[in-house]
Every structure is written in structure tokens, then in C-alpha cells.
Homo-oligomer: A and B are copies of this chain.
């Protein structure tokens, strides 16, 4: 635990017996978005609960978080249950609730995860990192004013950044950017999870039109262990994201995050609600 805003945002208190997997926390104002906290930080909180659970086996392999409602700036309860533990893999079910105005617990997030004790095997990266200029040759993106979480990340867009003009002139949905915590912070499974949600909405890039959006479900696959996290350290990561289909209110996004030395750390997908 450090005084980095990210670590503060990851603070969870154990409620009851640790083996019950019941935690309490408070969404971090440091990572506030327009309505509710930045989704990446909420997803990272789910992984934090896993990492803190006394029955956890191995490291994160897969995570799916479903954003059921915007969190409010009030305490939440997060439960993590190992639904099945095999010899080398473990299946998790998670749920986050907040009290509504009547004091009733309401589900704001559901999630599942798989953790596993990895074994060394044949390795191959079949999606190599694109050739791009190094971070110091790419300008830091301008930030929207008054959106707290944007101050927590350094983003240097090589392609598909926030449109300079909203004139409906978009031609493709790909974004490619260098990303890093502000201030810099050594990479772990928590921050890697949060980086997976860092891309601006594909529909904004594709249409150069700002329509209301909200991520409904995000999946993160981890292709890294402690050695790859350590090697990535506090350096920039390269992220790429692209949409494949926009259909009647929902579009998909698939993305990749590489360490600067070209290891594909994460592949990620989400489906996002959009209006109009």
C-alpha cells in the first residue's frame, strides 16, 4: 500500500470472516468519471478482492465484469466466491451492491473470473506490437476539464485520439496510444485491468460524433505472470482498440495491450451501449 491514488482507490476492508470473501469499499473520487467512477477502476477493485481472498489459487487468467448500474459516491459491498476449485484452476463469482435510497442493497456489478496456477509451456505472440514512434515523440493528449480520472493517466495517441472536431468525419474506429499511470506506478494485475478500459468510446472515433455511451460488459484475458509485470515496471504500455460492429444500440471493442518490449500482456473486449 502506497499513497498513490490508484492504491488508495483499491482499499478494501474485510467484513466478517476473511474466508467469506466479503469486502467493503468506497468508490474513489480521484477516478471519478462523468457519471460514476471510471469503469477500469471498478474492474480493478474486483481483481483486488480476488487477490486479497485467502482461498485464491494462482493468478488471474480471465475476468468478465458486467456494469449493471453507475456506482454512486457511497460505500459498496463486494462479495467474491470461489464457485469451483480444481487442481490448477479456480472459478470465481463476484457481485457488488450499493444501498439504494430506501436502504435496500442493489446490484451494481456482476463478475466472473478464472485464476490458475500457470505452468511454463510453449509460448507465442501472434499479434505483434505495431511499429510506432516512442512515447517521447508522441504528444500527450489534451484532457477534458473537470473529469478527475483523466488526470490519473497519461495518454499519448498515435492514431484515433479524441476527434479535434465533432463534424461526423470519422473514417475508422482504431485507436493506438501509449498509456501510463500519473504518477508512474509499477504494473500489477490491478492496474493492468484498469488499463484495459482506458480507450475512448469507439463510436466517438468512428463517427467523430459525441453520442451517449456506457460499457455494459468487459472481458480481460491476461497473458502475463509476475516476470512480465516486473519487466513492464513503470514504463509506458502500448494500447490498441478497434470496433467490429455497431448494431442497434450496442457496439463491440477488441483491444490489445503490449509492454514496451513487445510482450502482449492483455487482450480485452467489451460491449458498449450507445444512443442514436
Instruction: Name A residues whose Cβ lies closer than 8 Å to a Cβ of B.
Output: 61-62, 64, 66, 68-69, 83-84, 86, 89, 91, 93, 95, 106-108, 110-112, 114, 116, 118-127, 172-173, 206-207, 216-217, 219, 221, 223-225, 242-250, 252, 254, 256, 264, 267, 269, 271, 273-276
Contact = CB atoms under 8 A, between A and B. Distances in A.
A62 B275 CA distance: 17
A82 B91 CA distance: 20
B244 A118 contact: no
B173 A121 contact: no
Given A121-B274, A126-B244, 14 more contacts: A61-B217, A64-B112, A68-B86, A84-B107, A93-B93, A116-B273, A118-B249, A118-B250, A126-B242, A126-B243, A223-B244, A225-B247, A245-B267, A269-B269
A216 B124 contact: no
Contact of A61 (B64, B271, B274): B271
B62 A83 contact: no
A89 B216 contact: yes
Contacts of A249: 116, 118-119, 121
Nearest to A174: B126
Contacts of A271: 61-62, 114, 221
A251 B120 CA distance: 13
A202 to B, nearest CB: 8
A199 to B, nearest CB: 14
